[in-house]
Amino acid sequence: MDIIRTIDEIDHKILTILQEKARIPNAEVARQVGMAPSAVLERIRKLEERGIIEGYEVRLNPLPFKQGLAAFVLVEIDRSRGNGSLEQRLAEVSGVQEVHQIAGEDGYLLKVRAADPKALGQLLRDQLLTIPGVKGSRTQVVLNTVKETRRIELE
């Protein structure tokens, strides 16, 4: 299944508009690209089918939900053991937003959210370090987030 195929200029334009503001009405997109709404709708559908558009997300302020503290946690694992469902277990820990396997270390880099340092500490101690196969961790706490987007440059 080749996802790539041709992303032509019009698709490009549509995606640029959607990256700007995902909840814009289809007719408005059509106006901006100078096409009929139905044609644009069909293109968006196909972009979804082809896996180029993976979904639409609401961006919530983490503060009201007591998730204001972010941290990056490097989890060192014990390769000698059968890893098995380790990745899955890391991903399931509450507050874990991202799990990346990284090069150069036997481990994973996690992006985690918690209420405050104390809650983060508990999370690490009680939920992460208790997972079989986890040897240890190193945590970098975020003091301030300057930029946080998932926007990509459409080359």
Chain residues in the site for a second copy (CB under 8 A) = 3-4, 7, 15, 18-19, 21-23, 51-67, 70, 72, 74, 87-88, 90-91, 94-105, 108-109, 113, 140-155
**If you search the block for the tokens 């820990």, which residue do you land on?**
93
Q: Which does 131 bind (CB under 5 to 8 A by kind): DNA, a second copy, none?
A: none
Q: In 3D, which of 130, 84, 77, 79 has the Cα closest to residue 108?
A: 77
Rounded to whole angstroms, the Cα distance separating 15 from 47 reads 9
Closer residue to DNA (CB): 28 or 116: 28
Q: Which does 52 bind (CB under 5 to 8 A by kind): a second copy, DNA, none?
A: a second copy
Please list, in sequence order, all residues whose beta carbon lies within 8 angstroms of the beta carbon of residue 43, skipping any fewer than 6 positions away. Answer: 10, 11, 14
Q: How far is the CB of 60 from a second copy (least distance, A)?
A: 6
